[in-house]
Amino acid sequence: MELTHCRVVVLISGSGSNLQALIDASIASNYKVIGVISNNPEAYGLQRAEREAIPAYVVNHRAFPNREEFDEALRQEIDAIDPDLVVLAGFMRILGSAFVQHFSAGILNIHPSLLPKYPGVNTHQRALDAGDEEHGVSVHFVTEDLDGGPVVAQERVPVLPGDDAETLAARVLEKEHLVYPKVVSWFASGRLRMQEGQALLDGEPLPASGLDIQAP
């Protein structure tokens, strides 16, 4: 009997290193990346998809007069692929309410901070400026609140003497590549769900900060 994999579409805007981590991990996992969509026609991640023989699409946000029309075109592209899960991996566009509601409980995002700290951009420099002793990454469900959906899991890294935003970002990125495939696999297996605005793992509500895990 053939194993049924969770069908995943990944949205990207740039280099696609998390996309590559998801693709690599999927070989021995329970999900399959069946499509990659970028709002940026120059995104290197599109080449990664093509090398892996994964269909790649561009929905260029600059071709639309407003966010609503872009969101609608993106929604139509995703619906045509018909995934079980939408995964944001360095997707640098804010998605509107109608889009999020359409894919309710089926969108994951990865964010380079220990949410609720530092939603938005420049997270590494903000952690340094605040004098934080630790920093990290969060995987969360996407809701209408920017980087405000229920957190599933977090990985922490120390802030070391002499760190700048670049060195700290590199340390966090290593954790991103480990934790994201793990969380996607939880969803693919049916263990992870969002219900009534709360993340559930094995039917149990997760704490507000998600699981503090050490990815293998």
Round the average pLDDT of the chain to a whole number and report it: 95
Q: How confident is the model at residue 33 (pLDDT cuts 50, 70, 90)?
A: very high
Output b/e per residue, 198-207; b: 16+ Cβ within 10 A: ebbbeeeebe
Inter-residue contact 21 to 1 (CB < 8 Å): no
The active-site residue out of 5, 102, 111, 140 is 111
Q: With a cut of 50, say whether residue 55 has pLDDT above it.
A: yes
Give the C-alpha separation, 184 to 173, whole Å.
17
Report pLDDT for 1: 35
Output the CA torsion sign for 203, 143, 212, 177: positive
Over pLDDT 90: what percentage of the chain? Answer: 94
Q: Are 11 and 88 in contact (CB under 8 A)?
A: yes
Across the strands, what pairs with 107?
Answer: 86
Q: DSSP state, 131?
A: T
How far apart are alpha carbons 171 and 160 in whole angstroms? 10
Give residue for tokens 């993340």: 199
Domains annotated for the chain, with CATH where assigned, are: 6-212 (3.40.50.170)
Model confidence at 44, in pLDDT bands (50, 70, 90)? very high
Is residue 116 a contact partner of residue 154, using CB atoms and an 8 Å limit? no
Report whether pLDDT(3) > 80. no
C-alpha distances out from residue 107 to 51, 56, 134, 137, 180, Å: 25, 19, 27, 17, 13
pLDDT digits (tens, 9 = 90+) for 64-96: 999 999 999 999 999 999 999 999 999 999 999
Cα separation of 157 and 174, whole Å?
A: 10
To the query of whether residue 140 is one of the catalytic residues in this protein, the response is no
Confidence of residue 4 (pLDDT cuts 50, 70, 90): confident
